[in-house]
């Protein structure tokens, strides 16, 4: 393969040295950074920045290679990384949280160092690099449109075609003496080892599921132990998924809350502002209880709740949590119809949001999710209509 003597900074191909964070691209022409060395200080890095551009915070220097300088990546996550991770976990700017595809270095790799493949979702990128402290390796980041490995493999962006494209575009055969790359196990559904070998000459080795096992995997002569192949879904892993579940429904929840206030004002005098505040406030409390139950409590207690169906799990937990707004409503609502309306409304919200969590778990399959939705969405809609009817009836 021919290696270009110099890469044009205006060249839009993957060969151009380009780094990005949150959609902001940082470009340096090869002749400007050809003499750069890794491990330099901030003044050195600032000298490689151009007007209007800045180097990404995770780049600590450059290492010379046969195809030119390659950025060396920090293994320690800094304050900015931790804050941005928190924002992304809450669903803020999640779709813009990515790094530029290309080749990166960890430590001081040479031509015998391993090549680890990952997605360009920065959260995935960060999880890998923080586990590589003290290890010399290359990281090949492929373009998954800012999506994690597992989801990107299912969507077709973590794919054989993209991987081969990056192997060739980054002249990997000139970077390493061997012909092997390590691909995350969760990317296996999108990558054909046979086709990668045929099209690029590189042999695919499927690594562990979790980045935390990569050190042991490398020490074990790239052999995967049984536990490295097993997907976990611990309480902590479920907990860190709940903020985005809640954030996703904030906007529709606000619209629903306004509608509930207006609905609460309907009564014998056509509309009452005091009724809107009192009855509307109680119905919003029931709504909040349903959100808390379905988007937080059910995911946290998922393995301990009876039933395999998430919608039913949400009903079970929602039936308990819904007792709180019903008890509070005793001073506002009179008659069984009002209590039943609040109860049905709260558990319906809980059931729907719990069912929505199926997309975030390893417990389900696409066919199982589809079957559950067909079974429970009509039930949820019916329950919602009945609860609204009872709520209006209870006002008269």
The larger pLDDT score, comparing residue 38 to residue 98, is at 98
The whole-number average pLDDT for the span 195-222 is 94
Better-scored residue on pLDDT, 34 or 196: 196
For residues 119-135, give the mean pLDDT.
94
Quick one: pLDDT at residue 87?
A: 79
pLDDT digits (tens, 9 = 90+) for 230-253: 878 889 889 988 888 888 898 899
Q: Does pLDDT of 45 surpass 60?
A: no
Q: Would you say residue 274 has pLDDT above 90? A: no
pLDDT: is 155 or 20 the higher one? 155
Confirm if 315 and 351 have CB atoms less than 8 A apart. Answer: yes
pLDDT band at 48 (very low <50, low <70, confident <90, very high): low
Give the per-residue pLDDT at 190. 94
Checking if the pLDDT of 29 tops 80, the result is no
101 pLDDT above the threshold of 60: yes
More confident of the two residues 23 and 158? 158
Q: Tell me the C-alpha distance between 211 and 126, whole Å.
A: 10
Q: How far apart are CA 236 and CA 199, in angstroms?
A: 41
In tens, the pLDDT along 329-369 reads 887 887 899 999 999 999 999 999 999 888 777 777 777 88
3-state secondary structure of 10: coil
CATH topology of domain 18-231: Rossmann fold (3.40.50)
**Residues paired with 121 in a beta bridge:** 98
| pLDDT over 50 at 171, yes or no | yes
pLDDT tens string 381-390: 999 999 999 9
pLDDT band of 6, cuts 50, 70, 90 = very low
The pLDDT confidence band at residue 50, using thresholds 50, 70 and 90, is low
Partners of residue 138 on adjacent β-strands: 105, 115
Mean pLDDT lowest among 175-179, 227-231, 281-285: 227-231
Residue 39 has pLDDT above 50, yes or no: no
One-character DSSP codes across 32-91: HHTT--TT--HHHHHTT--TT----TTEEEEE--TTS-EEEEPSS--HHHHHHHHHHHTT
277 CB neighbour count, 10 Å cutoff: 14
Q: Where in the chain is the domain with CATH 3.40.50.11600?
A: 18-231
- Residue 368 has a pLDDT of 80
Does 289 score more than 50 pLDDT?
yes
Q: Which of 25-39, 154-168, 193-207, 256-270 has the lowest mean pLDDT?
A: 25-39
274 compared with 32, residue with greater pLDDT = 274
In this structure, what are the phi and psi dihedrals at residue 174, rounded to the nearest 5 degrees? -95, -10
In the predicted structure, residue 224 carries a pLDDT above the cut 90: no
Q: Using alpha carbons only, how large is the chain's radius of gyration in Å?
A: 27
The pLDDT of residue 268: 80
Cα 12 to Cα 101: distance, rounded to the nearest angstrom: 13
Supply the pLDDT for residue 18: 38
pLDDT at residue 81, rounded to an integer? 87
Residue 4's pLDDT band (cuts 50, 70, 90): very low
pLDDT of residue 335: 85
- 27 vs 185, which has greater pLDDT? 185
CB 68 within 8 A of CB 7: yes
pLDDT of 298 strictly over 80? yes
Average predicted confidence (pLDDT) for the chain:
84
Number of H helices, E strands in the chain: 18, 11
* Range scoring the smallest mean pLDDT among 195-199, 226-230, 371-375: 226-230
180 or 45: which leads in pLDDT: 180
pLDDT score, position 43: 53
The SS3 of residue 158 is: coil
């Amino acid at each position: 393969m021919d290696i270009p003597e110099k890469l044009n900074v205006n060249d839009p191909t993957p060969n151009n040295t380009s780094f990005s964070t949150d959609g902001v691209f940082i470009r340096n022409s090869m002749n400007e950074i050809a003499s750069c060395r890794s491990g330099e200080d901030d003044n050195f890095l600032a000298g490689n920045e151009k007007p209007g551009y800045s180097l990404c915070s995770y780049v600590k220097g450059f290492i010379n290679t046969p195809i030119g300088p390659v950025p060396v990546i920090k293994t320690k996550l800094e304050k900015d990384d931790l804050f941005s991770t928190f924002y992304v976990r809450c669903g803020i700017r999640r779709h813009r949280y990515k790094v530029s595809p290309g080749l990166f270095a960890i430590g001081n790799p040479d031509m015998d160092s391993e090549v680890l493949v990952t997605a360009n979702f920065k959260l995935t990128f960060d999880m890998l690099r923080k586990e590589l402290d003290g290890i010399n390796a290359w990281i090949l980041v492929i373009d998954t449109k800012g999506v994690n490995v597992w989801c990107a493999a299912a969507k077709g962006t973590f794919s054989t075609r993209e991987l081969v494209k990056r192997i060739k575009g980054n002249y990997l055969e000139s970077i390493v003496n061997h012909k092997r790359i390590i691909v995350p196990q969760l990317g296996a559904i999108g990558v054909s080892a046979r086709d990668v070998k045929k099209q690029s000459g590189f042999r695919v080795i499927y690594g562990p599921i979790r980045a935390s096992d990569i050190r042991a995997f490398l020490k074990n002569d790239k052999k995967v132990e049984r536990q490295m192949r097993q997907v976990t879904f611990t309480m902590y892993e479920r907990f860190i998924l709940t903020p985005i579940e809640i954030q996703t429904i904030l906007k529709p929840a606000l619209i629903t809350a306004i509608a509930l206030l207006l609905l609460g004002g309907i009564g014998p005098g056509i509309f009452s502002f005091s009724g809107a505040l009192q009855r509307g406030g109680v119905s919003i409390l029931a709504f909040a209880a349903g959100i808390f139950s379905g988007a937080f409590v059910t995911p946290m207690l998922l393995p301990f709740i009876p039933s395999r169906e998430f919608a039913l799990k949400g009903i079970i937990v929602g039936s308990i949590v819904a007792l709180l707004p019903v008890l509070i409503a005793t001073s506002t609502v009179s008659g069984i119809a009002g209590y039943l309306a609040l109860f049905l409304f709260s558990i319906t919200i809980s059931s729907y949001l719990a069912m929505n969590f199926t997309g975030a778990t390893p417990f389900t399959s696409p066919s199982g999710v589809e079957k559950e939705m067909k079974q429970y969405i009509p039930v949820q809609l019916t329950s919602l209509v009945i609860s609204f009817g009872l709520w209006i009836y209870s006002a008269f």
